[in-house]
Amino acid sequence: MANSKIASLIPREVLFGNPDKASVELSPDGNRISYLAPVNGVLNIWVGPAADPPTARPVTDDKDRGIRFYVWAYTNDHILYIQDKDGDENWRLYSVDLSTNQTKDLTPIEGVQAQIQQVSHKSPQEIIVGLNDRNPQFHDLYLIDIATGERRLIQRNDGFSRFVTDDDYNIRFAMRMTTDGGSEVLRPTEDDSWELFITILMEDLLTTSPVGFDKTGKLLYMIDSRDRNTAALVTLDLETGKHTLLAEDSQADISGVMVHPTEKTVQAVSFTRERKRWQILDDSIAEDLAALREIATGDIEIISRTLDDRHWIVAYEMDNGPIRYYRYQRAEKETQFLFTNRKALEGLPLAKMHSVTIRSRDGLDLVSYYTLPVVSGDDPQPGAPLPMILLVHGGPWGRDTWGYDPMHQMLANRGYAVLSVNFRGSTGLGKAFINAGNCEWAAKMHDDLVDAVNWAIDKGIADPERVAIMGGSYGGYATLVGMTFTPDLFTCGVDIVGPSNLVTLLESIPPYWQPQIDMFATRVGDHRTEEGRVFLTERSPLTHVERIKRPLLIGQGANDPRVKQAESDQIVTAMQEKNIPVTYVLYSDEGHGFARPENRLSFYAVAEAFLAAHLGGECESIGDSFIDSTIAVPSGVEQIPGLSAVLSHD
């Protein structure tokens, strides 16, 4: 390929390497700022004066996977973060004492998953943590001293999927699944038993849930879709039983809630159909949001607030640029630009993301997003049909949204159109849309993807002879479905941690997912019955492996607790037995997805070469993308141009 073309490509390192900064937070008292940033290529927590962010210094020393989630404790001198081992999702909880620079493991138990349940300004020294140390299926609640690590059991869990606690660390509700795929909300009684409080039917399960309390603790805030289609925000008076509607949208579920840090009043809510829209409920922040809209373009998110609510961290998300972070002082209505999350993106020719609603064959609206190479400018129509990648989101109970997406940007930069579809079963667009996907894996859910591809072909966006399907988790399953159920539609496929057999998938879920098994039974299929196993087997790509006739690339983490390595192993083996070519990429230190940037870069180098070979797009050479990666290719090295040479050199 000509050097001039190579020079025009945005390097993978810029798109998929570590961000410069992420997860920006203010300490509760507002004196300090924190964020994730690399130390020797590994994400760690940095802390510095809020008034002088450039002087921040790292306060953790992770040398392996990088830290991805942390919160401030209300002592203002401690930061709490979680970390697993090689992607096994057995999270351990750590406390960093900023006054001594010491880090303490608060949950030093092998093979146990810690979940932060509640952090409250009313009890700065202690937090509530869920641990499945007694029974792998259920998380008991412990009160843990963040300085000493001393823990005390406060609630044994003998069958609940989750608890709801308040700022006084009272256990207010417990939730458990019902056999029909719904849920019961129970509250404790004076004799230490539980009584039924609310029943949530199956069709409302994913769109109805308690979310918190007002300052008095007498009003319960709920996301609630009962007696309506979309999830609204309501209050429930726990003394009188009165329901009050606070906010709703006829076309989208509640997607975000702004609550005052101490008064616990709901100040604004967001709804996301094509783009995020904020609805103000408290006039005291109206001027603030108006002022912030004048600062920069993009979708606004208030990502951190001090306890006195005088200072905010505000993020602006773009589709064709990095996230911009500002520190906002409310009293003065003054903003201080801090930094972007990826400086190397600034000024690059990044592509716009277009939103479109595609009609399915049976009349559903599929909110979708597509990206075209920059040569198309802002025009939503290319000059001629392009090779296209259908990029399928995971979950499936999640959704695609507008904004910067590194996969969209890399693929568009290489000359592809990229299409992401909120197929039925996706969240955020009402319960009817979610429930339309029940037991429709490899059926109507896949029909939606096919309909979207046909839309792109009809609009002159996609070349019908060069369409690939790609995705992770459910998106990986959808890729395998595309290769087996509609083998003539897709030129090639890229499956990342996707299940191949729905029976073995459900038989091997993590033990702490077992309390939710009835949700999977009603929404995917019931592997516990003979009829259900027959149904799930028919919907499994492994069953139809002989139909695969186009190139396939599979990526897998060896420690994935959700979609076990066996899911990829078995379809690779089946393809080999039938002499069907497949390339299999495996990482010994990864789980459900590729967390280490070295592994991400190596996999996307392989994927980019694979797509270029079969769709004809441009491609950055693999080069040194395997440095410090644990990449192994057990099968199909010869299927990727240049891969054998790089592996033998390493």
| Catalytic center residues | 473, 560, 592
The Cβ-side half-sphere exposure at 609, using a 13 Å CA radius, reads 19
Q: 536: which 2 tokens? A: 């799930």
Q: 355: which 2 tokens? A: 């939103």
Cα distance between residue 526 and residue 518, in whole Å: 8
What residues contact 50, with CB distance under 8 A and at least 6 apart?
A: 26, 27, 30, 31, 32, 33, 311, 327
The Cβ-side half-sphere exposure at 629, using a 13 Å CA radius, reads 28
SS3 sequence of 347-358: CCCCCCEEEEEE
Handedness of CA 431, 435, 437, 438 (dihedral sign): positive
Helix or strand run (H / E) with residue 142:
strand 138-145
In degrees and rounded to multiples of 5, residue 424 shows phi and psi of -55, 145
Centroid of chain to Cα 507: 23
User: How many residues comprise the chain?
Assistant: 650
Could you tell me if 647 and 626 are in contact, meaning their C-beta atoms sit under 8 angstroms apart? yes
Cα distance between residue 316 and residue 275, in whole Å: 13
Cα distance between residue 306 and residue 301, in whole Å: 15
**Residue with the two structure tokens 């592994």:** 599
Could you tell me if 562 and 472 are in contact, meaning their C-beta atoms sit under 8 angstroms apart? no
What residues contact 34, with CB distance under 8 A and at least 6 apart?
A: 23, 24, 25, 26, 27, 45, 46, 47, 48, 56, 70, 72, 79
Which strands form 311-317's sheet, in the order they lie side by side? 299-305, 311-317, 324-329, 334-340
